[in-house]
Amino acid sequence: MTAATTSASLAGTWLLGDMRVNRIGFGAMRLTGSAVFHRGTPSNRGQALAVLRRAVDLGVNHIDTAAFYFSQLRSANELINSALSPYPDDLVIATKVGPARDASGEWAAPARPDQLRGQVEENLRQLGRDHLDLVNLRVMRGQDSVAEHFGALAELREAGLVRHLGVSGVRLHQLVEAQAVAPVVCVQNRYGIDGRGDEELVEHCGAAGIAFVPFFSIAGGEHEAGAAGAENRRVLDVARAHGASPAQVRLAWTLQRGDHVLPIPGTGSQDHLVENLAAGALRLTEAELTALSAAQPA
């Protein structure tokens, strides 16, 4: 399915703190051409810039990025700056800080709390901003307490470098710990039909008025935009019934988990961008939602 008039507004809106955004956003990671998320990445810089500009033209006003989204050829922040600056007044750019490099250059450990200011300033320089709309603390595997790190970001919020704070890759107790330090406006975790370990967290966010921002929400298998393996059979059945793509069904299922759920599918293709936004008009029946929720990967 492709809506006659495609717009990011088809799925409605939600507040990120005091910033109203259309519920379908855009994740910039795949624009960098990284080796892991190579599928569908643009073959040239001009294509990446065109996708970003088309997204904003179609009403996308929530873009997710990070200074550590880069490859040998691309930097997501630089692409966003080049494509969209001067930025529209209603555009919310969310970024992440938290990972630190190991000796091999891999992002393998949490940064120290005192290193977070430098990461925030790096995002500010790359994006050409004097403040960041939203900064998510990316919690690394094996990290338990987040209070000291989130407290460091709260100080930057008080200093005016950051407008709102969120957390990413968290468990429920870590979200509660962060909330005790400073207001949390969003949680960004992996979530979709094939990965639903965070149901309690999704419900907690809904009850608290916190946006839940799932990444890999159209993942079929291991990576966004589908894996090389077979698609989930129930997803295919629902897609055929609606004349939609499996990715659109996955997005529609995610959107119908609650008005506070704001997926950020990424793509390097303008056609896929339009397809993703058109999914905002797809309404699944209760029977279809139940079947998809019970589905297992093929």
DSSP for the chain, please give it: ---SS--GGGG-EEEETTEEEES--EE-GGGG--STT-TT--SSHHHHHHHHHHHHHTT--EEE--TT-B-SS-BHHHHHHHHHPSPPTT-EEEEEE-EEE-TTS-EEEEPPGGGHHHHHHHHHHHHT-SSEEEEEEEPPTT----HHHHHHHHHHHHTTSEEEEEEES--HHHHHHHHTTS---EEE-B-BTTB-TTHHHHHHHHHHT-EE--BSTT-SSSSTT--SSPPPHHHHHHHHHHT--HHHHHHHHHHTT-TTB------S-HHHHHHHHHGGG----HHHHHHHHT----
φ/ψ of 118, rounded to 5, equals: -60, -35
Name the active-site residue from 26, 37, 69, 253.
Answer: 69
Chain mean position to CA 218: 11
Largest CA distance in the chain: 53
69 is catalytic: yes
Active site residues: 69
